[in-house]
């Protein structure tokens, strides 16, 4: 009998091994940023449907431990690969979670140096995964993360340890080999996930556009996934006379221009050995007198041979960009059905709200594109392109006209001020060049689809596009007046644009811009028409104003589509995850989030249940609520997990950090139960505790306060108060607090605190 059990156990083990080798059921995981290599953001899962989505409930919450109160953008979309959920943070950390419970399996602590306030885009949108078909040892599965600190890291998918065989002990310094080296730490970095194609891992870069003409170049590089060696590189700016497009850069220094970088998400068609690169603007954004001509292949989607980096084709969405109109979104690959034909297509979303549909084999438009005359520049030395490409009207998803009479505000006096401001500025359409007078850029560099991109349901022939409408104001400033302008308007964004005659300032029109400020649009590809368009979200600041629910919200994140006909999207200022009916645009369900969810949601099946997961971390520049949350939702019912709200034992010893302003301090915390309350002791690197430490229970957590002195800032004192809660099964003690006194900037600062319990994994 024992032998029979043993044979049965061996048989079950063999079945389990074979099942693991075969992988999970098709569609049950989420293995790339947009689910598939082509970035459709579509899932074939249908357990959560139009009929039952109202039963969706929060299943679990995890926190990454990389909480910051005033900087960073947790924009990551987790991946589910081989039964593990992987998510990255702005600090370059990667956390592996159990997909059914949210329990932490491991965490790799990121190497991004904290303490800088000038990471232009302090973001991370996710990781990439690769599995070696040759073996099963250490690092046979790899997770790749690229960071704002310009580092590409390969981690063992099972343990989170860096793969020693990759680069230098698991890391590649992406600043090496650049034509134009960064002048400061954030002049070159990465904010979007790498792309894995075969045995190559591809990365682009994020480059500040308005610092100088010769900014770091936007080279795309492919690295060997095993060794980290460079296999190929492609520079979107032609540098040599024999390079394709060389003649479209005119001027003595034009071919030394920087940027034209690809900061957004790449896509791949492995069967055709193609990758699709969304390329941004050349530097600087708003004056192109040093780079006359159309400037190929800036502001283009570029198709390259994946295995070699060889140029195949390009389609330019803006000629000679003067508006910061990068190609901001992942090119989305899909099959366009026309009668009995199925055409391999790519959708290219833009900041202008223009959507171009191209044959991905050739770059030829599948819907008409017309070159239309656009306004000329009135700035000496500038030569704007006389025409720009326009898709059909249904594929232009945001308004393209704005007059003083269109000004919006919530009171008559504010509306009059808005009208006067608009009337004083130059605006003659979507491609009105920047000017010394001040030019309205509408829908603006945050407008259109931006990096939220579009999502495609091939079977239904529907494209879903979240859009923004936020008018910006750009003014060119003669160089000898730039400092005075900055002193006079310190609240505006300024750029030196070194190497040109002009600096620049940028502002926005805010709610002078007519609503809706954010929409969700469905485009019927068969009919070539808008199927529906609805306001997306709301602005909490205007909640008391009648009709404000119809005005929508500025948004960043993207939409998840499912085979059951659902659209899931977060990204709005009112901090909700929503579900819409893909056929009608009707909102079916929503759930409040603890922080703004500026990220693309994803979905998967674990232990027989479908989950929808979104990161909620806020946005420093949009001033939405910050956090480090990963939230999973599933249908209510027997066996459905629910978040653990039971107060856990707080007593114990913890080590962690305080994040305040641009400083990061190591801390120790010991809590001991004392009746219904606690006693506490605290240590902080470089800080003296100068009085008693108080501790009291606060709901599921504890509030700790004490006075301190900071010798490095002679003579200053402050009172620190922190309110902390247990998370992640009692492993993490995390929360926010205040720092008040002469040590604090302007007497008060907010702070973030993250502690891990000592002696627990």
Pairing relationship of beta strands 42-43 and 559-562 according to DSSP bridges: parallel
**Statement: residue 38 has pLDDT above 70:** yes
Contact between 555 and 521 under an 8 Å Cβ cutoff? The reply is no
pLDDT band at 312 (very low <50, low <70, confident <90, very high): very high
Omega of the bond leading into 310 within 30 degrees of 0 (cis): no
Helices (H) and strands (E) in the chain, counts: 3, 49
**Statement: residue 12 has pLDDT above 50:** no
Q: What is the pLDDT of residue 174?
A: 98
Measured between alpha carbons, how far is 219 from 480 in angstroms, rounded to an integer?
33
Question: End-to-end distance of the chain based on CA atoms, in angstroms?
Answer: 40
DSSP letters for 431-443: TPPPBSS-EEESS
550 by DSSP, 3-state: which?
helix
Q: What is the pLDDT of residue 118?
A: 53
Measured between alpha carbons, how far is 314 from 302 in angstroms, rounded to an integer?
4
**Statement: residue 700 has pLDDT above 90:** no
**Statement: residue 15 has pLDDT above 50:** no
Torsion of CA 93, 99, 103, 108, to 10 degrees: -20
In the block, residue with structure tokens 């957004």: 264
Q: What is the pLDDT of residue 760?
A: 58
Contact between 661 and 111 under an 8 Å Cβ cutoff? The reply is no
Measured between alpha carbons, how far is 49 from 565 in angstroms, rounded to an integer?
7
Omega of the bond leading into 25 within 30 degrees of 0 (cis): no
In the block, residue with structure tokens 């899931």: 568
Measured between alpha carbons, how far is 595 from 597 in angstroms, rounded to an integer?
6
Helices (H), ranges, 344-435: 412-423
**Statement: residue 18 has pLDDT above 50:** no
- Residue 498 has φ and ψ, to the nearest 5°, of -55, 140
Neighbours of 247 (CB within 10 A): 12
Map 23-56 to HEC letters.
CCCCCCCECCCCCCCCCCCEECCCCCCCCCHHHE
Q: What is the pLDDT of residue 296?
A: 98
Q: State the greatest distance between any 2 C-alpha atoms of the chain, in Å, as a whole number.
A: 94
pLDDT band at 16 (very low <50, low <70, confident <90, very high): very low
Measured between alpha carbons, how far is 562 from 582 in angstroms, rounded to an integer?
9
For the chain, helix, strand, coil in percent to 5 are 10, 40, 50
Contact between 236 and 263 under an 8 Å Cβ cutoff? The reply is no
Q: Please state, for a pLDDT cut of 90, what percent of the chain lies above it.
A: 87
**Beta carbons within 8 Å of 174's beta carbon, 6+ residues apart:** 146, 150, 151, 152, 188, 190, 203, 205, 221
What is the average pLDDT score of the chain? 93
562 by DSSP, 3-state: which?
strand
**Beta carbons within 8 Å of 543's beta carbon, 6+ residues apart:** none
Measured between alpha carbons, how far is 193 from 144 in angstroms, rounded to an integer?
8
Q: Which residues are catalytic?
A: 324
Q: Tens digits of per-residue pLDDT, 263-278?
A: 999 999 999 999 999 9
Q: Tens digits of per-residue pLDDT, 562-574?
A: 999 999 999 999 9
**pTM for the whole thing?**
0.95
Query: Across the strands, what pairs with 426?
Result: 439
pLDDT band at 649 (very low <50, low <70, confident <90, very high): confident
**Element (DSSP H or E) covering residue 4:** helix 2-22
Measured between alpha carbons, how far is 537 from 530 in angstroms, rounded to an integer?
20
Q: What is the mean pLDDT of residues 575-583?
A: 98
- Walk me through the domains of the chain, giving residue ranges and CATH numbers: 184-326 (2.40.10.480), 652-757 (2.40.128.120)
Query: Across the strands, what pairs with 301?
Result: 278, 315
In the block, residue with structure tokens 């079916």: 588
């Amino acid at each position: 009998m024992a032998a029979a059990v043993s044979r049965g156990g061996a048989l079950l083990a063999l079945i389990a091994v074979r099942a693991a080798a075969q992988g999970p059921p098709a569609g049950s995981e989420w293995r790339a940023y947009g689910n598939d290599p082509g970035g459709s953001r579509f899932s074939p899962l249908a357990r959560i449907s139009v009929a039952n989505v109202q039963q969706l409930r929060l299943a679990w919450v995890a926190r990454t431990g990389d909480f910051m109160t005033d900087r960073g953008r947790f924009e990551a979309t987790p991946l589910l690969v081989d039964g593990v959920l992987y998510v990255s943070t702005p600090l370059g950390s990667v956390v592996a979670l159990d997909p059914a419970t949210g329990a932490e399996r491991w965490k790799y602590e990121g190497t991004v140096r904290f303490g800088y306030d000038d990471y232009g885009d302090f973001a991370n949108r996710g990781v990439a995964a690769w599995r070696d078909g040759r073996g099963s040892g250490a690092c046979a599965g790899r997770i790749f993360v690229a960071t704002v600190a310009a580092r590409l890291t390969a981690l063992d998918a099972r343990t989170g340890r860096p793969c020693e065989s990759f680069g230098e002990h698991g890391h590649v310094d992406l600043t090496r080999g650049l034509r134009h080296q960064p002048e400061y730490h954030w002049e070159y970095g990465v904010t979007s996930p790498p792309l894995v194609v075969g045995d190559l891992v591809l990365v682009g870069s994020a480059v500040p556009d308005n610092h100088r003409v010769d900014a770091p170049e936007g080279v795309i590089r492919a690295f060997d996934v095993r060794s980290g060696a460079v296999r190929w590189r492609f520079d979107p700016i032609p540098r040599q006379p024999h390079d394709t497009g060389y003649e479209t850069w005119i001027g003595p220094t034009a071919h030394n221009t920087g940027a034209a970088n690809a900061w957004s998400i790449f896509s791949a068609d492995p069967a055709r050995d193609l990758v699709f690169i969304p390329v941004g603007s050349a530097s600087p954004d708003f004056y192109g007198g040093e780079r006359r001509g159309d400037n190929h292949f800036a502001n283009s989607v570029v198709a390259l041979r994946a295995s070699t980096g060889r140029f195949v084709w390009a389609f330019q969405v803006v000629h000679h960009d003067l508006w910061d109109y990068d190609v901001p979104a992942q090119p989305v690959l899909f099959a366009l059905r026309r009668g009995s034909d199925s055409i391999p297509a790519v959708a290219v979303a833009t900041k202008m709200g223009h959507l171009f549909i191209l044959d991905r084999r050739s770059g030829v438009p599948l819907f008409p594109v017309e070159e239309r005359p656009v306004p000329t520049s009135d700035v000496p030395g500038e030569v704007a392109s006389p025409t720009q490409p326009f898709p059909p009207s249904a594929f232009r998803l945001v308004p393209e006209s704005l007059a003083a009479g269109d000004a919006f505000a919530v009171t008559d006096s504010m509306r009059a001020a808005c009208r006067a401001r608009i009337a004083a500025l130059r605006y003659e359409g979507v491609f009105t060049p920047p000017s010394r007078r001040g030019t309205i850029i509408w829908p603006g560099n945050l407008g259109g689809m931006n990096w939220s991109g579009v999502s495609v349901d091939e079977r239904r022939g529907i494209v879903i596009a979240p859009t923004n409408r936020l008018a910006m104001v750009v003014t060119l400033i003669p160089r000898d007046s730039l400092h005075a302008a900055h002193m006079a308007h310190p609240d505006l964004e300024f750029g030196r644009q070194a190497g040109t005659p002009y600096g620049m300032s940028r502002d926005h029109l805010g709610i002078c811009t007519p609503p809706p400020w954010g929409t969700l649009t469905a485009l019927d590809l068969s009919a070539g028409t808008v199927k529906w368009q609805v306001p997306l979200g709301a602005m909490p600041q205007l909640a008391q104003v009648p009709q404000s629910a119809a005005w929508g919200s500025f948004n960043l994140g993207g939409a998840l589509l499912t085979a059951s006909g659902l659209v899931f999207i977060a990204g709005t200022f009112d901090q909700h995850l929503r579900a819409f009916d893909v056929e009608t645009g009707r909102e079916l369900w929503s759930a409040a989030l603890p922080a703004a969810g500026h990220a693309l949601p994803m979905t998967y099946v674990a232990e027989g249940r479908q989950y929808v997961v979104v990161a909620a971390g806020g946005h420093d520049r949009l001033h939405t609520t910050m956090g480090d949350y990963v939230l999973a939702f599933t249908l209510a019912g027997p066996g459905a997990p629910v978040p653990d709200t039971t107060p856990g034992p707080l007593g114990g010893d913890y080590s962690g950090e305080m994040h305040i302003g641009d400083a990061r301090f190591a801390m120790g915390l010991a809590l001991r139960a004392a009746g219904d309350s606690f006693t506490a002791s605290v240590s902080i690197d470089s800080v003296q505790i100068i009085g008693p430490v108080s501790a009291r229970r606060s709901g599921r957590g504890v509030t700790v306060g004490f006075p301190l002195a900071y010798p490095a800032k002679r003579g200053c004192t402050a009172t620190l108060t922190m309110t902390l809660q247990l998370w992640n099964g009692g492993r993490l003690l995390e929360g926010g607090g205040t720092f008040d006194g002469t040590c604090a900037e302007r007497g008060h600062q907010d702070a973030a605190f993250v502690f891990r319990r000592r002696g627990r994994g």
